[in-house]
Structures are given as structure tokens and as C-alpha cells.
Chains A and B, each alone.
Chain A
């Protein structure tokens, strides 16, 4: 039931774009995105809900395809501060979250 993220790692130059994908083997009702810097706690970015409601971070966008059971996180014109590990998480049956293994993003000057 753990969502699968791709790619596992990506290296960018400042100003480049990146897409991180998250797919699930079961029906999705919500997808959460978090970013974690090394040694720190994860920080919430955004949540996407079935039916199209979207909240979250104004510098980063995401899509949610219910039919394909996928979500994608779009980072445009990346900045050094975007570096970290990005996790998607899907809602479990009892309100808990199930996290993917993460995508490590490195932005170089």
C-alpha cells in the first residue's frame, strides 16, 4: 500500500524545473506532499483532495489524477532552498497517512 515515488533522486541547477511523481496501487482520496531537510522534521507543502480541492504552497504546484491514481509535484525555477527529500503520503483507511520512500532533490548553484 506504500505509494511509489519516482525518481528516487534528481540533481538540478538553480532555475531548472523538476517533476516528482507519486503513484498508488489503490484508489486515492487524498495526497499529501512534505519536504524534509537533512536531520530536520518534514514540513507540509500541500494536500490534494479527491474532487479537485487543493491547498498549500504558493511556490510549488501539484496535480492529482484520480483515474490514474497518481499525483505529481512540480517545482519550477528551482532555488537552492528547494533542496531536500520530498515525500508523498496517501490517506489510509483510518485517517492515518502512508508515506512513500521519498525523492532526494539537490539544487546546485
Chain B
């Protein structure tokens, strides 16, 4: 079955630690995205990538970093510079970046202790 996987589902981190969230898709999609969701809020874009080895900052990129070395993979690193990292993180992909439905992974819930 084609789809998007994210791991882990739940993640706990101590303050000051970097952590990497995994996102893999086997849909052969060109574009991939990372969103952050806080309670009662919509989805806010962190980073997106329209093609391998290229990515752009979204609205809230500070304290986050990404890489896109393979078409299937788009890992997100939450660094210690991110002031309030506790949130629900969603990865998505789409066939192309314009006017295409986005398919979402199941999400990773990150809690900073």
C-alpha cells in the first residue's frame, strides 16, 4: 500500500536536546511538507520541498532544519533553538506542489519535558 509514514508516533525530549522526526513516502510524490499543529490552531507550515536537494522555509522555520537527499524522505530536526517545541507534527506530500491534494502522515506528537 502506498502512503506516508512518520515515526515515532510519540516522542519525549529533554530541554536542550535536538531530535529528528522521520517522514517517508512511497507515493512517488515530488513535493513534501512539514506542518506544526497546536491545540485549537490550524496547520502552520515549517518547511517544504518541491524537489530533491531543494527546500524552502515556511512561516515558522526558526529552530527547525530539514534535508531532502532522497525523493522518498524528508526528515525534520527540531533543534534546541526552538523555544516551544511541544506540538503535533504532520508531514505531507503531493504529486506536484501547485493545486494538488496533500496526503498526510499519521503525525508525531512531541513533548518536551
Contact A101 B102 (CB under 8 A): no
CB distance from A12 to the nearest CB of B (A): 20
Q: Chain B's interface: helix, strand, loop or mixed, by majority?
A: loop
B75 within 8 A of A: no
Contact B104 A30 (CB under 8 A): no
Contact A97 B31 (CB under 8 A): no
Q: How far is the CA of A77 from the CA of B100 in the complex (A)?
A: 28
Contact B43 A42 (CB under 8 A): yes
Known contacts A41-B104, A42-B104, A43-B104; A95/B42 CB under 8 A:
no
- Using a CB–CB cutoff of 8 Å, the interface residues on chain B facing chain A are 31, 33, 35, 40-45, 48, 50, 56, 58-59, 90, 96-107
Contact B42 A94 (CB under 8 A): no
Interface size band for A: 20 to 34
- Using a CB–CB cutoff of 8 Å, the interface residues on chain A facing chain B are 2, 29-30, 32, 40-44, 47, 49, 87, 89, 91, 94-102
What would be 16 A-B contacts, judged by CB atoms less than 8 Å apart?
Answer: A29-B99, A32-B102, A40-B106, A42-B43, A42-B104, A43-B104, A44-B101, A47-B99, A96-B56, A97-B102, A98-B59, A100-B42, A101-B40, A101-B41, A101-B42, A102-B42
- For residue B4, which residue of chain A has the nearest CB? A41
Most chain A Cβ neighbours within 10 Å, of B42, B43, B45, B56:
B42
CB distance from A100 to the nearest CB of B (A): 5
Contact B99 A96 (CB under 8 A): no
* For the complex of A and B, 6 pairs with smallest distance between CB atoms: A95-B97, A41-B104, A99-B42, A44-B101, A99-B43, A95-B98
